[in-house]
Homo-oligomer: A and B are copies of this chain.
Amino acid sequence: MYEIFQKYLDEKTTLTKTESELIQSYAIIKKLRKRQYLLQEGDIWKYNAFITRGCLRTYSVDEKGTEHVNSFSIENWWTGDRESLMFQQPSRFNIDAIEDSELILFTQDNFELLCREIPAFNNMVNAILQKSFIAAQNRIQASLSFTAEEKYLNFISKYPGFASRIPQTMIASYLGMTPETLSRIRKQTAKK
């Protein structure tokens, strides 16, 4: 499955043979069955994780036991808990597989080394972070200014394809509404 990551690298940046080999030498392949955890609340996250196949969700659980989905991540995206990684503190999140998935992991030490040794890799990582930040800003804006229906329409237009592979309950949680509300919205919008 490493070829998928190699292809991603080739698209995003330009590397010498030696650099590519250095990156590959640190790659840890990890397979996850559906429902299996990549990270559990309380654990300290140690990696940078790239998804070559499948779909994962990051969520937290509040005192009432309600799950709140923070994000979905699919093939060709990264996942993990930056806060836990950066401050080496126990995570408030769980990450688990929505589908059978395959990942490539890099320990933070190795990842930092790659960033230091390979400027093109460092630039790629920064560009991804910038885009993630912009996406987070847009999500904040949506959560502040959109109605439930607008949030759903925005979601399916922004992430077409997600709606078909992710259970509605999880999408509802991601959008900050109950599954019942999402069900009713879908019924209504289907009519139009």
Q: Residue A60 at the B interface, CB < 8 A?
A: yes
How big is chain A's contact interface, by range? 20 to 34
- Of B66, B86, B92, B141, the residue contacting A60 (CB under 8 A) is B141
Query: How far, in angstroms, from A124 to B132 measured CA to CA in the complex?
Result: 18
Neighbouring B residues of A140 by C-beta, 8 Å: 70, 136, 139-140, 143
Q: Most B CB atoms within 10 A — which of A129, A130, A173?
A: A130
Neighbouring B residues of A69 by C-beta, 8 Å: 144
Q: How far is the CB of A47 from chain B (nearest CB, A)?
A: 15
Neighbouring B residues of A8 by C-beta, 8 Å: none
Whether A145 lies near B82 (C-beta < 8 A) is no
Q: How far is the CB of A88 from chain B (nearest CB, A)?
A: 13
- The residues in A between 65 and 102 inclusive whose CB is less than 8 angstroms from any CB of B are 66, 68-70, 82-83, 86, 92
Query: How far, in angstroms, from A146 to B176 measured CA to CA in the complex?
Result: 11
Query: How far, in angstroms, from A82 to B129 measured CA to CA in the complex?
Result: 11
Q: How far is the CB of A16 from chain B (nearest CB, A)?
A: 19
Query: How far, in angstroms, from A189 to B70 measured CA to CA in the complex?
Result: 29
Q: How far is the CB of A67 from chain B (nearest CB, A)?
A: 10
Q: Residue A6 at the B interface, CB < 8 A?
A: no
Whether A145 lies near B66 (C-beta < 8 A) is yes
- Of B66, B129, B141, B176, the residue contacting A70 (CB under 8 A) is B141
Apart from A69-B144, A83-B138, list 12 A-B contacts with CB within 8 A.
A66-B145, A70-B137, A70-B140, A70-B144, A82-B134, A83-B137, A86-B131, A92-B141, A126-B129, A129-B129, A140-B143, A143-B143
Interface of A with B (CB < 8 Å)?
A: 60, 62, 66, 68-70, 82-83, 86, 92, 122, 126, 129-134, 136-141, 143-145, 173, 176
